[in-house]
Amino acid sequence: MTALWMVRHGPTHAKAMIGWTDLPADLSDTAAIDRLRTALPSAPVVSSDLIRAVETATAIGHTPRLPHDAALREINFGDWDGQTFAEAEARDPALIRAYWETPGDIAPPNGESWNMVRTRVDGAIDRYVALGHSDIIVVAHFGVILTQVQRALGIDAYAAFGHKISNLSITKIQTGTAWDAPLINHVA
């Protein structure tokens, strides 16, 4: 069994859908970083290759560091990346509503569907679980963490979207014969 300690990167303060846009994290709340560091086990750390996740993983300071992994990137919002919901809705009103209300095979223009994200992330997580560590810290993004909440709880994507995943929060996913999520969105 492996415990995945999934940490959402520090805040970017962007007020838009930010997927593959590479924005830095605001890690100025050193007390929050210290609490996060203390709440995590001594374990290998892997992060998305986007700078906000890399910087957060570096701030946590746990080692060993595994290579950054592009498969742990946030949802690729395609043409919606960098747009507010209102801007994307003005452009594609029916499509954006369907994307969030009936997630599955619907994708933003030039982006990924929820099922594509889930397949990508499941493959990456399976590779890390296969390493055989008892604990792994995964520093990633809202969508990445929700794919594994969905997997662990056996819920549909819409129900997964109902979970809040705050910046610098911990979500613990236990793998094995049965998967579970005993801790979701814990802010240390």
Which residues does the chain have with pLDDT short of 70? Answer: none
Residue 46: the pLDDT is 98
Contact (Cβ atoms closer than 8 angstroms) between residue 187 and residue 12 = no
Residue 62: the pLDDT is 87
Catalogue all structural domains in the chain, each as residue range(s) with its CATH number: 3-186 (3.40.50.1240)
Per-residue tokens: 8: 């959402």
User: What pTM was estimated for this model as a whole?
Assistant: 0.96
Residue 48: the pLDDT is 98
Contact (Cβ atoms closer than 8 angstroms) between residue 48 and residue 140 = yes
Residue 170: the pLDDT is 98
> What rounded mean pLDDT belongs to the chain?
96
Active site residues: 9, 74
Residue 86: the pLDDT is 95
